[in-house]
């Protein structure tokens, strides 16, 4: 574990000197020191860091929830749902069409619809933090789209499981979906009406007790979320949403910051451990085609979202590029596909696709002004500061 932290830190320091973002460098550290590349093998089994990686994802989304206040949900609920729905319709629809075009099979196409359709909450969060865009106006709809995606994710996994397992029981899928939706509804009601009670329970002047309290709450609810068929990330996000509205919200935000950074780095390092570069040449052209489809759909989704909110070309470009990354959900689907005995090309395809976009996303997000300049009215962005 110590080697993982230090390797990530060394590569990130080197990269920062030449202007590279940290996410792809953390992933690269995992690839270079994992079991699939020659040389030093720091971690032979990626599962050895599984719990630390999960904690990193939980803390990233918990922090996101702290930043995303309940007032934002109340004020933009309808537009948030429309923006999220448009994003999913474009990306999931394109992913399904791409899956059928490859000709690997119907079950494989359904898996690819999810892989190409859902962005990475962890990477999106890290990109927003690294680029200092948390306070930007367009960040609210970006976070709203992530919330809608996570709700869809829970329902999609519940519906896909019986298909991949060969089960023909729609009733079982409906029960799983209802259980997930019911738990999400309960979390939403607690966030909406339980803030005062939660504020009294969490409030303390002692920083040590506050850290233990919010960390325990975030991890516990994340674990319960998985039991109900909801992504652990969305459970942690909802806890952050609740605690961010309490009187201790500002203190929690400061205290969780170093924890988020440390374990977030391990999340991306562990992701790199799971990638076998030797499998990628077989599916290289399919990966590049899928990346092109994703980039195009994200631009269209960014334009649609910007029209809903009345944003200009720079905000449109920020939305389009920030949501490009794919990550943890795609890896979950890859695991499910392998367990179901689907086409053996699917796993390396997903790994390659996720890796390319994980590296590309921070780079294109940091240079979103290039896209803004070719959008309608974008020439004016060349005369204004870019953020």
Block means of pLDDT (10 residues each) for the chain, length 387 residues? 85 76 79 86 84 86 75 67 91 94 90 90 82 85 84 72 60 69 79 80 89 93 83 80 85 90 85 80 91 94 91 91 84 72 83 85 88 75 49
What local confidence, expressed as pLDDT, does residue 195 receive? 77
pTM: 0.70
CB contact set of 69 (below 8 Å; sequence gap of 6+): 241, 244, 245
pLDDT at res. 43: 84
CA distances from 226 to 23, 184, 235, 321 (A): 26, 11, 8, 29
What is the predicted pLDDT for the residue at 289? 95
289 in Cβ contact with 366 (< 8 Å): no
CA-CA distance, 5 to 368, in Å (whole number)?
30
Q: Which residue has the tokens 């240079």?
A: 367
Q: Which helix (H) or strand (E) holds 115?
A: helix 106-117
Tokens of 300: 């269209």
Tell me, what's the pLDDT at 377?
67
Is residue 257 a contact partner of residue 129, using CB atoms and an 8 Å limit? no
**Rounded to whole angstroms, how far apart are CA atoms 133 and 139?**
7
Structure tokens at 74: 């109340």
- Site of tokens 């830190």: 9
What pLDDT, on the 0 to 100 scale, is given for residue 170?
Answer: 61
In this predicted structure, what is the pLDDT of residue 165?
60
pLDDT of residue 34: 87
**Token duo for residue 222:** 């994340």
């Amino acid at each position: 574990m110590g080697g993982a932290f230090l390797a990530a830190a060394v590569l990130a320091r080197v990269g920062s000197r030449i202007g590279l973002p940290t996410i792809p460098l953390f992933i690269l550290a995992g690839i270079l020191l994992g079991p699939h590349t020659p040389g030093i093998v720091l971690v032979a089994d990626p599962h050895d860091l599984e719990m630390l990686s999960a904690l990193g994802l939980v803390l990233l989304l918990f922090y996101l929830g702290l930043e995303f206040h309940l007032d934002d949900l109340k004020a933009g609920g309808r537009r948030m749902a429309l923006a999220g729905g448009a994003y999913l319709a474009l990306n999931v629809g394109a992913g399904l069409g791409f899956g059928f075009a490859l000709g690997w099979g119907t079950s494989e196409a359904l898996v690819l619809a999810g892989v190409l359709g859902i962005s990475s909450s962890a990477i999106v969060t890290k990109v927003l933090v690294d680029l200092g865009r948390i306070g930007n106006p367009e960040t609210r709809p970006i976070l709203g789209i992530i919330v809608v995606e996570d709700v869809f994710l829970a329902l999609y996994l519940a519906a896909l499981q019986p298909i991949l397992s060969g089960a023909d029981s729609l009733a079982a899928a409906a029960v799983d979906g209802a259980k997930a939706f019911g738990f999400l509804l309960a979390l939403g009601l607690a966030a909406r009406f339980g803030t005062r009670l939660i504020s009294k329970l969490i409030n303390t002047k002692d920083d040590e007790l506050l850290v233990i309290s919010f960390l325990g709450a975030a991890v516990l609810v994340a674990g319960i979320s998985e039991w109900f068929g909801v992504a652990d990330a969305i459970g942690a996000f909802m806890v952050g949403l609740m605690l961010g509205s309490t009187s201790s919200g500002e203190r929690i935000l400061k205290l969780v910051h170093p924890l988020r950074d440390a374990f977030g780095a391990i999340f991306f390092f562990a992701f790199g451990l799971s990638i076998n570069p030797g499998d990628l040449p077989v599916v290289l052209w399919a990966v590049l085609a899928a990346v092109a489809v994703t980039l195009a759909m994200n631009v269209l989704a960014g334009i649609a979202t910007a029209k809903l909110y009345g944003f200009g070309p720079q905000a449109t470009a920020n939305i389009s590029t920030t949501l490009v990354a794919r990550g943890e959900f795609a890896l979950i689907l890859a695991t499910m596909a392998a367990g179901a005995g689907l086409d053996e090309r699917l796993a390396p395809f997903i790994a390659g696709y996720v890796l390319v976009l994980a590296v590309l996303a921070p780079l294109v997000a940091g240079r979103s002004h290039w896209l803004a300049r070719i959008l309608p009215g974008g020439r004016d962005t060349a005369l204004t500061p870019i953020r």
